[in-house]
Amino acid sequence: MRILCGLTRGNRQPCHARKRSSPRNSAAEVLLCDTGVLLAAGNVKDHAHQACLRLLRHTEGPLLVPSPVLGEIGYLLQSRVGPQAEVTFLRSFDGDGFKVAELQGTDIGRMAELVETYLDLPLGIVDAAVAASPSASG
C-alpha cells in the first residue's frame, strides 16, 4: 500500500509516498490521498499540479479519500479554484476513480490521540483522519 501524504504545509514540496514492502506483482497498489495532493491536482496554477496529477493517473490500484477530507477539499477547491473544480472532483468518484474511505468509531478515538499528541503542530481533524484511516494501516 502507498500512503500519499500530500504536500507539506510549510514549503509546499511534495512528500514522498511510503510503500509497504510487497512484491510488485502482488495485490494492486492502494493510494490514500489527503487534501494537499488533491488540491494540487485540481489547481493548474499549483507548482506541484503535474506531479500530483501524474501520480493519481498512473497508480494502478484504488485511490482512497478518507471521508473527512471531502469537506476540506470541497471548500478549498471551490474557494481557490472555482466551483467547476469542485464538480470535476466529485465526478471523479464515478467508475474507477476515487473511492471514499469511511472511518469507523474506533478511528475517532485514534484521531483524538493523534491530535492530542501533536498539539504543537496542530495536526487537526482531517490530517488525523488520514493517519487513523483503516486504509493507512493496511
The pLDDT tens digits of the residues spanning 109-134 come to 999 999 999 999 989 999 999 999 87
Residue range(s) defining the domain that contains residue 32: 2-137
pLDDT (average), residues 1-18? 39
Q: Are 77 and 49 spatial neighbours (Cβ–Cβ below 8 Å)?
A: no
The closest of 20, 6, 16, 5 to 138, measured between CA atoms, is 20
Tell me the one-letter amino acid at 61: G
Taking the model in full, what pTM does it have?
A: 0.78
pLDDT, one tens digit per residue, over 66-114 is: 999 999 999 999 999 999 999 999 999 988 899 999 999 999 999 999 9
The closest of 54, 50, 68 to 108, measured between CA atoms, is 68
CATH number of the domain enclosing 60? 3.40.50.1010
Higher pLDDT among residues 13 and 92, named by residue = 92
Residue with cell 483524538: 112
Look at residue 39 and give its three-state secondary structure. helix
pLDDT at 87: 96
Domains identified in the chain, total number: 1
pLDDT at 23: 42
Compute the distance between CA of residue 49 and CA of residue 53 in angstroms, rounded to an integer: 6
CA 50 to chain centre: 16
